[in-house]
Structure 1
Amino acid sequence: MKLVMAVVSNDDANLVIKTLIQSDFFVTKLATTGGFLKSGNTTIIIGVQDDRMDECIELISEHSKQRTKLVPNAISSEFGIFSSTPVEVQVGGATIFVLDVEQFIKT
């Protein structure tokens, strides 16, 4: 058995969770923050049997797409902070961790 921890964008989280539940995975949702833009993320924790690992990772990847976003850009100098042209950055996607589970207990 494996423990999958997937960090996805809040924009994608509901669709990812809904798809996993429809595919009979048990999901725990944690609200998290962090990353480059300090944007909201959702960490999804899933207990997965070894033979369903590929299916789980595929569903997460399929429903958490990367996209571009314009973010404000500021230049700091000895005279203060000045705004300049917004910069395009990649956001979204998923970061997936897979851990071995030594023991699983459900009470």
Structure 2
Amino acid sequence: MKLLLVIVSDTDKNKVNLALVENGVQATIIYSTGGFLNRGTVTFMIGAEDDRVDEIIELIRKNVSERKEVCKSTLPPALQTLFFVSKQKIEQGGAVIFVIDIEEFLKV
């Protein structure tokens, strides 16, 4: 038994959730904010048998998108001119997946 912690962008959450539901994968969803751009993220907690892990990872891979977003500086405007700050494009999207061994899984 494995626990998959799958962190995806808020933008991709509906598509990932629908794919999981359509394939009979139950998940608990935790909403959060974080990352370099301080954007909304969603963490799916999924308990899965060992033989379904690769299938679930592939479902997630097919339903997340990668995109470039403009990163705005966090410096105050007055300091931005002093430090010659420019906007940068940062790669966003995809998923971060942790696969953890589980000794026991109970539903009560």
Instruction: Give the TM-score of the pair, scaled to structure 2.
Output: 0.88
Give the structure with the higher percent strand.
Answer: 1
Any gaps of 5 or more consecutive residues in structure 1?
none
Any gaps of 5 or more consecutive residues in structure 2?
none
- Partner residue in 2 for 1:33: 33
Question: How big is each residue's C-alpha offset from its partner over 1:67-98, in whole Å with a ceiling of 9 and x where there is no partner?
Answer: 1011223667xxx3226442111111100000
Aligned-pair identity (%):
38
| Aligned residue-pair number | 104
Give 1:12-51 correspondences, 5 Å limit.
Answer: 12-51=12-51
Q: Residues of 2 paired with 1:82 and 1:105: CA distance?
A: 53
Is the alpha carbon distance of 1:71 and 1:4 closer, same or farther for their aligned partners in structure 2, counting shifts above 3 Å? Answer: same
Is the alpha carbon distance of 1:31 and 1:75 closer, same or farther for their aligned partners in structure 2, counting shifts above 3 Å? Answer: closer
After TM superposition, what 4+ stretches of structure 1 lie above 4 angstroms from structure 2?
none
> Could you say what the CA RMSD is over the residues aligned between the two structures, in angstroms?
1.6
